[in-house]
């Protein structure tokens, strides 16, 4: 009876130790490991052999496993970060080369750093979100939504730097809705579909609000084309997510 | 991610013992440990850290797969996940045994030559 209490207590402590595994590993194997530990302790108890030394050996052996799994996970993460950093650097070459050959392209160091951070942030967001799911529709949806968000944010910032019109801030509101919505949807495909459709609808509303009658026809046409493209991209990403949720 | 070459790659001792334990029937974690101990006459002692670390990698490589979660009638009433060997796992085990046969044949040939 006393040993039963000890086995149960050791199992509780072992369950606490297992929480040090990376979360996906713990969710998949934690229960099985706990059961196996319990079975091993019970076997020892039935053989009337000491438990403490055995439990300590298992704790030591499991701790090595915890270090190995965490190290392996960190290595995969480091590889992903390095790959994204290199791709972002490759993409940065485009404006870097363009600034040398295109007349009037005078970015300062800050501009290039800002652009690199944008490329890197978008790429890393894609790599981390897309690996949550294997479905190509989910990955394509994430890619399309990020490209649309990146391009819209970029175009908007350029406009804001050249104009005193603060109504452009409303476009950043569309992106904020996307960010908060993705967080609330916990990146689940079904929820993300709704978020992307909401962003597309909000963009239409913002387009109507920001539109002004004293703007030259050419600007109106360009703005309309821009809106149609971005609404189409957000809606298409929403459709991809909806497909991925089935 | 499944590795198509996994069936041809040499296996670690832990993976070899787990595949051998699963070659006859589906087993849960504790069942695998008991079978490994029986197969090796108690010489191989595998803890849960080694077992489930290997199981994770073997699932990823497609060598084994999870079976039903069910109660083991010989144990308590807790439901346990059972693991079973796949076709790829059997191929990997066969390839490893063939490698061992080759090594044994080579060693025997050399030893008889020296004698």
Tens of pLDDT along B51-88? 999 999 999 999 999 988 888 888 877 899 999 999 99
Within a domain: A75: no
Extract the residue ranges of chain A whose pLDDT is less than 50. Answer: none
Looking at the predicted structure, is the pLDDT value of residue B32 above 90?
yes
The CA–CA distances, whole Å, from A86 to A7, A81, A83, A91 equal 51, 9, 5, 9
Question: In sequence order, what are the residues at sequence separation of 6 or more whose Cβ sits closer than 8 angstroms to the Cβ of residue A154?
Answer: A118
Instruction: Give the domain extent around A110.
Output: 82-244
Q: What is the dihedral of CA B48, B53, B54, B55, to 10 degrees?
A: 80
User: CB distance A62–B28 less than 8 Å?
Assistant: no
> Do A100 and A54 share a structural domain?
no
Q: Alpha helix (H) ranges present in B13-115?
A: 13-22, 29-39, 48-61, 87-114
Minimal C-alpha gap between A58 and chain B (Å):
6
Percent of chain B residues past pLDDT 90, beyond the cut: 68
> Do A45 and A114 share a structural domain?
no
Within a domain: A73: no
Within a domain: A196: yes
Domain boundary among A42, A67, A92: A67
> Do A225 and A116 share a structural domain?
yes
Residue of A nearest to B32 (CA): A36
CA distance B81 to B19: 16
Residue B1: pLDDT band by 50, 70, 90 thresholds? very low
User: Phi, psi (5° rounding) for residue A99?
Assistant: -65, -20
> Do A233 and A115 share a structural domain?
yes
Looking at the predicted structure, is the pLDDT value of residue B31 above 70?
yes
User: CB distance B52–A32 less than 8 Å?
Assistant: yes
Higher pLDDT, A50 or B95: B95
Within a domain: A77: no
User: For chain A, what is the domain count?
Assistant: 2
The single residue listed with the structure tokens 């369950």 is A15
Point out the residue among B28, B53, B75 whose CB comes nearest to the CB of A69: B53
Neighbours of B75 (CB within 10 A): 15
> Do A104 and A59 share a structural domain?
no
- Cross-strand bridge partners of residue B27: B83
> Do A198 and A175 share a structural domain?
yes
A131 with A157: CB under 8 angstroms?
A: no
Tens of pLDDT along B11-24? 999 999 999 999 99
Q: What is the DSSP string of B24-44?
A: TS-B-HHHHHHHHHHHTTT--
> Do A204 and A111 share a structural domain?
yes
Question: In sequence order, what are the residues at sequence separation of 6 or more whose Cβ sits closer than 8 angstroms to the Cβ of residue A146?
Answer: A122, A125, A126
How many beta-carbon pairs under 8 angstroms link A with B?
57
> Do A130 and A18 share a structural domain?
no
> Do A191 and A109 share a structural domain?
yes
> In 3-state terms, what secondary structure has residue B82?
strand
Minimal C-alpha gap between A12 and chain B (Å):
15
User: CB distance B30–A68 less than 8 Å?
Assistant: no
Residue A213: per-residue pLDDT:
63
Residue of A nearest to B48 (CA): A33
B20 with B93: CB under 8 angstroms?
A: yes
Chain A residues in contact with B50 (beta carbon < 8 A): 61, 65
Residue B110: per-residue pLDDT:
86
Residue B4: per-residue pLDDT:
47
Within a domain: A162: yes
- Cross-strand bridge partners of residue B85: B64
Span B13-114 CATH architecture: Orthogonal Bundle (1.10)
Long-range CB pairs of A220-229 (<8 Å, 24+ gap) are A226/A155, A227/A203
> Do A40 and A102 share a structural domain?
no
Task: Please give the model's pTM, rounded to 2 decimal places.
Answer: 0.55
CA distance A183 to A198: 14
Q: What is the DSSP string of A206-238?
A: HHHHH--TTS-HHHHHHHHHHHHHHHHHHHHHH
A68 touches chain B (CB under 8 A): yes
Higher pLDDT, A110 or B94: B94
> In 3-state terms, what secondary structure has residue B61?
helix
Minimal C-alpha gap between A160 and chain B (Å):
45
Minimal C-alpha gap between A28 and chain B (Å):
9
Residue B89: per-residue pLDDT:
94
Within a domain: A130: yes
Residue of A nearest to B50 (CA): A65
Residue B2: per-residue pLDDT:
47
A214 touches chain B (CB under 8 A): no
């Amino acid at each position: 009876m006393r040993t039963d209490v000890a086995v149960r207590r050791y199992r509780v402590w072992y369950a606490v130790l297992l929480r040090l595994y990376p979360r996906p590993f713990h969710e998949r194997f934690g229960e099985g490991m706990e059961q196996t530990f319990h079975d091993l302790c019970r076997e020892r108890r039935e053989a009337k052999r000491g438990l403490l030394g055995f439990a300590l050996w298992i704790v030591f052996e499991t701790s090595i496993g915890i270090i190995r799994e965490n190290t392996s996970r960190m290595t995969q993460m480091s590889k992903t970060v390095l790959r994204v950093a290199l791709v972002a650097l490759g993409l940065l070459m485009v404006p870097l080369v363009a600034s040398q050959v295109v007349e009037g392209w005078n970015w300062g160091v800050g501009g290039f750093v800002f652009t690199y951070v944008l490329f890197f942030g978008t790429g890393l967001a894609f790599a981390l979100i897309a690996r949550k799911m294997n479905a190509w529709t989910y990955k394509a949806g994430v890619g399309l939504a990020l490209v649309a968000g990146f391009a819209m944010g970029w175009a908007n910032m350029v406009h804001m730097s050249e104009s005193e019109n603060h109504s452009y801030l409303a476009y950043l509101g569309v992106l904020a809705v996307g960010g908060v919505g993705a967080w609330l949807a916990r990146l689940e495909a079904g929820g993300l579909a709704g978020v992307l459709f909401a962003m597309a609808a909000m963009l239409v509303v913002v387009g109507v609000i920001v539109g002004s009658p004293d703007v030259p026809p050419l600007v109106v046409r360009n703005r309309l084309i821009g809106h149609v493209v971005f609404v189409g991209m957000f809606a298409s990403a929403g459709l991809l997510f909806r497909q991925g949720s089935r | 991610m499944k590795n198509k070459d996994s069936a041809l790659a040499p296996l670690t001792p832990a993976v070899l013992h787990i595949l051998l334990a699963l070659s006859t029937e589906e087993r849960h974690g504790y069942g695998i440990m008991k079978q490994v101990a029986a197969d090796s006459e108690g010489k191989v002692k595998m803890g849960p850290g080694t077992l489930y670390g290997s199981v994770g990698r073997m699932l990823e490589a497609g060598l084994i797969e999870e079976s039903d979660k069910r109660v083991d009638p010989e144990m308590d009433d807790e439901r346990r996940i059972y693991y079973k060997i796949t076709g790829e796992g059997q191929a990997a085990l066969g390839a490893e045994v063939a490698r061992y046969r080759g090594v044994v044949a080579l060693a025997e040939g050399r030893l008889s030559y020296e004698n």
